[in-house]
Structure 1
């Protein structure tokens, strides 16, 4: 017990000593986080606090593991796995530090996390089985690889995403470290207990400077290091317990970052945005939108985390089905909290999924229609056949009207017109635009005026217009045979037959007016 207390206090004191030095160096090197629209701070703040967390933890862990006592003896018994975890976490810290200083693409960091997680799994640190009850044991077999990789990479990024307010990620991570340390002590895993207590001490010292108002941020070097270390350590601890509690308690401790990440991914999926796109709909952002101040938001998150963990401790004294019921009930409470603050709404999710499905079907139909229409453009050899193809495209793409003013060689003018036959279309239900078309005559161009039915959404209009203009661009008038310049609409059998409607007089020329299919 003295060793545990010494490690915790030693790493906390070391962090408090190192952080002022890190702040000074960060300011001199201009490694600061500048405010922007997504940030809640108002002035530049040093962002390499992860250096202090990493150094203060490793500075205590490495000497203690080498001592000739029970801790050192236990370390020598399983030293290979611990060394892999520490080295892998060190590499992730370095990746985060490079990102803090120079900036890295999100995909680069993700690939680095995945590669490092594979190394950890290769060392035998995998979730191979979980005993749900005495009679129900989940044996993952080969699936232990993807499951463990998903857990490590997922938790790493969940903690990284939660680092949005002063003291938020550090406080939640500290609770997670405490939970894993308790599990390790209960299972006589002294090495893991020392590892987590050292990290807990580092976070305690860091929070002295990081709690609102923060003097330093942990940056990606800190959040990625924390996430990877906690995730890998929880897996290593869970393999010792082989019960659902070994993984369930860390899940509850990290419940806010985990659910925040899952709901964030779901929102981006429904809204058809990149998974790497930042937003302001995270849990802490929603609490701020409700009128809470930074400190109140962070304290609320601390309270929820401690409440979830406190209730989760009942799993240590329950058995079998009761343990699962306790775990599921606490998860439901967390989901209800997210629903209350507006981070997730069941009705909005269902409506969003339906809309996404509808848009996906519309897009598929529009592409299929485009491919069908393109065949008719490819068959057009003379101008009248080309105009019939334009009319066919306008009809299939739900246009309201198409007009093509023409000037003959003798200077007289005429206008080709097509409409869908519907009258009294409201002006706010159509989009008007002009499509330039290269003419066969040098230096001249035509202007095709089109009116497009909105029909649900402007996004659909944009797709249909893009496909239509692509057809006009790839199959323009200049590609037609010169022998067909003076031809009239007499071609048969090659293109769909558009019913002849009325004939409109434009000065001295008669123009075919195609209404609809």
Structure 2
């Protein structure tokens, strides 16, 4: 317990300091979020990755908190995915390249001896989908980091229930590192997570979930894993359905995510993130309780039903409407026409 508190505190403080130090180099190098009106450097994810690997690796090296072979391999694979994401932050990479790299990393960490090959292949596909969907969450200040912290605590609780101490320590370090990052990413953000941090976080969360459910039935595992990542899934499904209905390319960025639509309802940037975090916590809580046996696994159906209702309601909020024209713009247009 004492070691866990010490490592979490260390990870939080180190990430907060390192993220602050990396802000200026990110601006000078031009590694910024091109979607924002103001330049937001994207090296915050590098701080999360470096600190998580450093702190978790120190526990492995000193044998104070050994991760275990499977978890150590998971961390190395996550670092590889993070490196691919860093390349994507510096140079634009196609989505298929990121998906392929993530699939290769996932295929190397899935415990096939416990899942079997067919279920293992499904697990690989699930890890890729969750990883890419989590990357898409990095579109609003504080969103990906907050959801990542909530989900990491949930999956970590499942790992602790399975007496996977190394995995639980890794997830607690990740949650602490993301919390330190959020000190600089809360609205208005001074640094962003980027593909490096978002792919790393999404990969660790998805793969760790597979580890905790290895050996359980496919149906029950699918339900628990869905509940743990319900908010991530809701955002991805909402975007895909919305863009299909509007006949827009799936890879074209747009203001059609959950947080965007909540802002259109009049919520502040901080209020939208808090509401999304509450939704993520609800799904994670049901997933943890179902995994530990405190509630029946059929309760996951309530999460699925709630997710469906949320998607249907949010689809009614327009996302691609014409830009609002101010009175001054109208007056300027009239003067030009009259002239």
TM-score for the superposition, normalised by structure 1: 0.57
Equivalent runs, 1:389-400 vs 2, <5 Å: none
Distance 1:314 1:234, change over 3 A: closer
**Structure 1: gaps spanning 5 or more residues:** 36-40, 129-140, 346-517
CA distance in 2, matches of 1:109, 1:149: 14
Equivalent runs, 1:333-482 vs 2, <5 Å: 333-342=306-315
SS for the counterpart of 1:291 is: coil
The number of aligned residues is 318
CA distance in 1, matches of 2:316, 2:73: 37
Equivalence for 1:104: 93
SS for the counterpart of 1:120 is: coil
Q: 1:177, 1:230 within 8 Å by CA — same for their partners in 2?
A: yes
CA distance in 2, matches of 1:183, 1:312: 9
CA distance in 1, matches of 2:242, 2:316: 9
Equivalence for 1:326: 299
Q: 1:26, 1:46 within 8 Å by CA — same for their partners in 2?
A: yes
Matched, 1:20 2:15: no
Equivalence for 1:58: 53
What's the Cα RMSD here? 2.5
CA distance in 1, matches of 2:23, 2:33: 12
Query: Higher relative CO (CA 8 A, sep ≥ 6), structure 1 or 2?
Result: 2
Equivalence for 2:332: none
CA distance in 2, matches of 1:227, 1:316: 20
Structure number with the higher strand fraction is 1
Distance 1:107 1:203, change over 3 A: same
CA distance in 1, matches of 2:160, 2:55: 18
CA distance in 1, matches of 2:249, 2:34: 24
CA distance in 2, matches of 1:147, 1:317: 23
Equivalence for 1:515: none
Matched, 1:86 2:75: yes
Q: 1:268, 1:274 within 8 Å by CA — same for their partners in 2?
A: yes
Equivalence for 1:223: 198
Q: 1:50, 1:219 within 8 Å by CA — same for their partners in 2?
A: yes
**Structure 2: gaps spanning 5 or more residues:** 319-339
Matched, 1:199 2:174: yes
Distance 1:256 1:11, change over 3 A: same
SS for the counterpart of 2:296 is: helix
CA shift, 1:273, in A, is 4.4
TM-score for the superposition, normalised by structure 2: 0.85
CA distance in 2, matches of 1:313, 1:180: 7
Equivalence for 2:323: none
Distance 1:188 1:344, change over 3 A: farther
Please list the CA deviations of residues 26-69 of structure 1 after superposition, one character each: whole Å capped at 9, or x if unmatched. 1221212234xxxxx43111112111000111110001112234
CA shift, 1:275, in A, is 3.1
CA shift, 1:267, in A, is 3.6
CA distance in 2, matches of 1:18, 1:325: 44
Equivalent runs, 1:165-180 vs 2, <5 Å: 165-180=140-155
Distance 1:258 1:23, change over 3 A: same
